[in-house]
Amino acid sequence: MTTQHSKTDVILIGGGIMSATLGTLLKELSPEKTIKVFERLSQPGEESSNVWNNAGTGHSALCELNYTKEGKDGSVDITKAIKINEQFQLSKQFWAYLVRTGQLERPERFIQSVPHMSFVIGEDNVNFIKNRVASLQQNVLFEKMILSQDEEEMKSWVPLMIEGRSSDEPIALTYDETGTDVNFGALTNDLFHNLEQRGVHIQYKQEVLNISKSAKGTWIVEVKDLTTNKVSTYEADFVFIGAGGASLPLLQKTGIKESKHIGGFPVSGLFLRCTNPDIIKRHHAKVYGKAAVGAPPMSVPHLDTRFVDGQRSLLFGPFAGFSPKFLKTGSYLDLIKSVKPNNIVTMLSAGIKEMSLTKYLISQLMLSNDERMDDLRVFFPNAKNEDWEVITAGQRVQVIKDTEDTKGNLQFGTEVITSEDGTLAALLGASPGASTAVDIMFDVLQRCYGEDFKQWEAKIKEMVPSFGNKLSDNEEMYHAINKEVTKYLNVK
Ligand SMILES: Cc1cc2nc3c(=O)[nH]c(=O)nc-3n(C[C@H](O)[C@H](O)[C@H](O)COP(=O)(O)OP(=O)(O)OC[C@H]3O[C@@H](n4cnc5c(N)ncnc54)[C@H](O)[C@@H]3O)c2cc1C
């Protein structure tokens, strides 16, 4: 016997940063909307959004070398770097608005200034980074970026990375003081706390089993109470599937045509975490290196200062791995169950095309602890095995989809899928992820609430003043907005 509950305007599936952001935007733009949230775990932000499950980088292309492409003539294309930086500016503006309006308290709980740095070894890479910085520095978004090859200066930024370095190979570092470390788990918690106070009903230990369309065009969501095993159904005009890695199987359940010919490939991750407080306090930066040949972009190694509950910590990684689970707390059958008649060719095509990724993942899985420490010693030559422990990071499910020309393309970005009538949206993929949650959710709103969105424009500009403009083309606007944002978020 299932219980049928009364209808709401919106159902958000999953208690991660994406649902938290969409719920908050909707409550601001259309406060009368009734919203329910279902989360299978006992708290919000416990899967990929949890602080230990991601790297907490406020992705702004201040340090990630893979966001700029080098041409054969040595030129550097900065288009993607600008796009990602602009997206993060939207997130920061929205968070600053929530602090200013008293909806988020204590921004230091979720955002801290931590310099973003890039690190390269070898002449070719040094030449690349010089060209990169020269191109980026011409844009206002990167005006604070500095490059150094001077040993004393580099030592003053990151002593652990310079001490004990014996090789003659040239190295270079860039430094940008405007970088941030974001605790997306704490932010998710605080956003849901605020939503609860505004009447949003958030139910934990509730697993969504099925989503189907009713005869009258609304969505019927079947939910299992994991404490009592009782199954209930809920009805809504609009459903957002923000279930992280588990979004794909739920999207498949809807049966909409946009859910076909899409597959998912899970990639798991490990970090090394420093256990020695004397070491932790001697490093204050997020330092990104270059990805190994054949490595997927999310495996770029980085040495990261993190802030968790006011405590500083130090992580290195991620090391990639393979697990067939779609969530860290998922099932070993997730991958196999996601193979359907409509996506089997898509998935097999990707399998054939992505042999280098498969080889890379196998090589990562085979790494011993000593070998992981050797990778760390490329960054931190004097690192000692006894000062580091291994922790498991979150699961990412990369999207595999067909394009007009080819089948089975593995994507490393995020993908918003919406139904033709705009009553359902799902978020697939993981990168650059949480940093761009506000931009992604604006996209969802634009695609699903097109008519309302035009009416909401004035309110959107109040919350996110640069919305619809490019800060990268408008120095004066950037400086004016940035002054306010840094004041409210208490960052550089
Ligand atoms: C190793 C790693 C490093 C990363 N580093 C960064 C970084 O440095 N910067 C950055 O911006 N991003 C980073 N990301 C990406 C970022 O973590 C994700 O993009 C973001 O957390 C995704 O949020 P979400 O809300 O979509 O998913 P999640 O946080 O995973 O939330 C989904 C929620 O849905 C729930 N759920 C699942 N199925 C159901 C169901 N059937 N019923 C009810 N609830 C369900 C889950 O329990 C979970 O709480 C990283 C990710 C990983 C894995």
Domain residue limits, the chain: 6-479
> Which ligand 1 atom is the nearest neighbour of the CA of 430?
19
The DSSP code sequence of 276-329 is -HHHHTT--SEEE-PPPTT--GGG--EEEEEEETTEEEEEEEEEEE--S-SSTT
CA of 151 to the centre of ligand 1 (A): 39
What pLDDT was estimated at residue 305?
A: 98
List the residue whose alpha carbon is closest to atom 51 of ligand 1: 54
**Distance (Å) from CA 13 to ligand 1 centroid:** 12
Ligand 1 neighbours (beta carbon < 6 A):
13-19, 38-41, 46-49, 53-57, 59, 184, 207-208, 242-244, 246, 250, 269, 318, 327, 393-394, 396, 427, 430, 432-435
**Separation CA 427–CA 401 (nearest Å):** 14
Residue 384 has a pLDDT of 98
Look up residue 395 and give its two tokens: 């699961």
The pLDDT score that the predictor gives to residue 294 is 66
- The residue among 78, 80, 81, 75 whose CA lies nearest residue 62 is 81
Position in ligand 1 atom list of the atom nearest CA 433:
19
| CA angle (330, 332, 335) in 5-degree steps | 90
- Ligand 1, residue 47: give the atom nearest the CA: 30
Distance 413 CA to ligand 1 centre (A): 13
Asked if 89 and 471 count as a contact pair (C-beta separation under 8 A), the reply is yes
State the distance from the centre of ligand 1 to the C-alpha of 361, rounded, in angstroms. 21
Which superfamily is assigned to 6-479 in CATH?
FAD/NAD(P)-binding domain (3.50.50.60)
What pTM, to 2 d.p., does this model score?
0.95
For residue 244, the CA-to-ligand 1 centroid distance in Å is 5
Closest atom of ligand 1 to CA, residue 50: 29
The pLDDT averaged over each successive group of 10 residues in the chain (492 residues) is 83 98 98 98 97 96 93 90 97 98 96 98 94 96 97 97 92 98 98 97 97 96 97 97 97 95 91 97 97 73 94 94 91 93 90 80 84 94 97 91 86 90 94 92 97 96 97 97 98 97
Nearest atom within ligand 1 for CA of residue 414:
19
* pLDDT for 237: 98
Query: In which element (H, E) is residue 10 found?
Result: strand 8-13
Q: Whose CA is nearest to atom 38 of ligand 1?
A: 243
Quick one: pLDDT at residue 358? Answer: 78
